[in-house]
Chain A
Amino acid sequence: SSVSLQILFYVNGAYYIFYFLATLAMIVYKSQVFSYPDSFLAPDLALLFIMAILEALRLYLGSKGNLTEEEAPLGLSLVLTVGSALLCVYFLAWQTYVLQADVILGAILLFTYGLESVLEIAAIAAFVS
């Protein structure tokens, strides 16, 4: 089992909680300050919650796969990472209002995903062989 991957999962979990709360707070701020009609607010909030569920699942599967040294959960986690990355890009560029803070937080998260994907591929390669 890869120690660095495990550490990365742990850090990712903590950072994601911060990211989720910050994005939620900023959506609330945007809805008060800017004109944010309900038809735009609902999809944004829905996607944020979907991303949270996806993230929790992904981290659990990845951590389990890493610790039990099985490829299947790690592979699934890798697939889910792609999904999470897409959602992160949505919140980075395609949201209704993208604030500078959104860009900064999203960039950090995307960088973390990239690092995780590389380490997961390395771990899968190590476990297969």
Chain B
Amino acid sequence: VAKLCVCDLLVAQCDVNCCCDPDCTAAEFSLFTTCSIPIVTGDSRLCSQKAAIYSLDVEANPPERIFKLIDHINPNVFCIHTANYKQAFSFISPETPTSENFDQLLKQFGSATFSTEFDSWNINPDSQSSSGANETYRYEYGVPIQTVDAFVRLPSPVVSSWCSDANPAGFLVKQATKCSRLVSVEKCSTIQAVSMLFYINSSILAVSMHEFVFQVNITVQSIIVQSLNGMRTLLDSNEVLRLPTVLDELCINIVLGVSYHITYTEAGEIIEAAASFVLGAITKETLSIQQSFEISFTQVNTKPVPLSGNPGYVVGLPVRAGFRPHGYPLSNTDKHGQLTILQSTSNQDCLAAAGARTPVLFGYNMISGCKLRVTAATECQLLAQTLLDLLKGQNFPEYVASFGNSQAQDVLDWVPITHLHTSEQVKFALLLPPSCQIPVSLEIEVQWTKYGSLVNPQARIVNVTATVTSAALNQLPSGRERTVPITSSVVFTDISSPAEPGYKARPTINIKLPFDFFFPFV
């Protein structure tokens, strides 16, 4: 105990206010104000133990450190008199792996993460079956999709960018992976992972863990052939299985990308599986190719519409918008009618902009713009129309979904976009002759509120206002030019009212006298 010093952190140097530090001299002790550690003992539950007490004697001049080694007695009747179990007061040191016990330790502590065999994936049906043999197993979110021999594989990069074939695809987990694979023309027919057969060979089990139920064959939906210079063509006949073959020093029909589409029912069964391939070719110089894989899920009899939240909007997902053509229910296919704003380009010239637009993502305030060069020869009305198209885009939607999962048929779930027009420099309007106005900024303000329970509030869009601000374009003397900045922005404002505490109703005392309480008198 006398040698223990917790505050001695600096090696060969005196720590400040550390009275137990052996590196400190008496002169340094006299400079301390207090002792940061006054007492050092062992386990306090022992009945009698040695304790080292450090204190500073400030009366003496100069102050000196006092060190006392005493016996500390624990008055508690339940103090430990003797402990015959030597490891009681220290941590158990774990087993060091050696070559003898490595296998046993690996079996005990290793799991599927560190195993190299596929055997560890085969879930023992006995261990997983719950009581009731009649229970049907269905796929749940995240469960690996099983095939006849193993799992549907989505090769993905592990640690480095090389493909590992051991990544199972999870049910309803939309994934897209890219990885590199070593190839060579000589071995192109022997490497399994570059041939189409590897991906559509085994059929998928419709229901998890039941081999004797329906098996779904993976059909080839489409084949795109990519030539050596990168041009892709869609093949017409797509039922033919094309295996890698060597042709003139090239190896063709190498799988460069697979895209699985799985159709499932509400009960969690897989009823259809289709795969689209991108096949390419490699030359003698190619050492590695990059393969990309993705998988997507569609529920049967529905058209897939990407949700932006369920039900409230999720920050970062696009704001869904749509049109209402003449009283018909809204259409909200994701390509048209998405709320977009102008995307700034590198050359910042409005008129040369290629019309690039970026979708508005919920919760992300955005601002973008460009610079407009106005010369004397510009025609104002034409310019105003061009700028309005530039700011609003080709298909500026009329309605915005108030929830992330609003369906097109629920008309009340959609919020109309309010359009406002303001103009700058109103105060000069009386002085100058009326000139034409050009829109210089579009500001979309999206007001949203928190909806639902306090514990799990959902974001709901309440109001969308698109304000177009116009400025007057004065005639310039010929030869001069002016640069007008054009901006467009999106702002998300939280207008949720603060939560009010709700109190339970006070309990009322319900006392009723019996009917005949005043019997003799009434």
Contacts and interface: CB of A to CB of B under 8 A. Distances in A.
Interface of A: 26, 29, 34-37, 40, 93-104
Contacts of A99: 77-81
Interface of B: 47, 76-85, 87-88
A34 to B, nearest CB: 6
Contacts of A36: 85
Contacts of A100: 47, 76-81
A35 B88 contact: yes
Contacts of B83: 96-98
A101 to B, nearest CB: 5
A45 to B, nearest CB: 15
7 tightest Cβ-Cβ pairs between the two chains A and B:
A98-B81, A98-B82, A96-B85, A101-B77, A99-B78, A100-B79, A103-B81
15 contacts: A34-B80, A34-B88, A35-B88, A37-B85, A40-B85, A96-B83, A96-B84, A96-B85, A97-B80, A97-B84, A98-B80, A98-B82, A99-B79, A100-B77, A101-B78
A42 B382 CA distance: 96
Contacts of A98: 80-84
Nearest to A35: B88
Nearest to B74: A100
A71 B47 CA distance: 45
B521 to A, nearest CB: 65
A94 B81 contact: no
A35 B86 CA distance: 11
A36 B84 CA distance: 11
A34 B81 CA distance: 14
Contacts of B88: 34-35, 96-97
Contact of B81 (A35, A40, A102): A102
A17 B196 CA distance: 81
Nearest to B79: A100
A94 B77 CA distance: 18
A100 B47 CA distance: 7
A119 B80 CA distance: 34
Nearest to A94: B84
A94 B87 CA distance: 15
A40 B87 CA distance: 12
Given A34-B88, A35-B88, A97-B88, A104 B82 contact: no
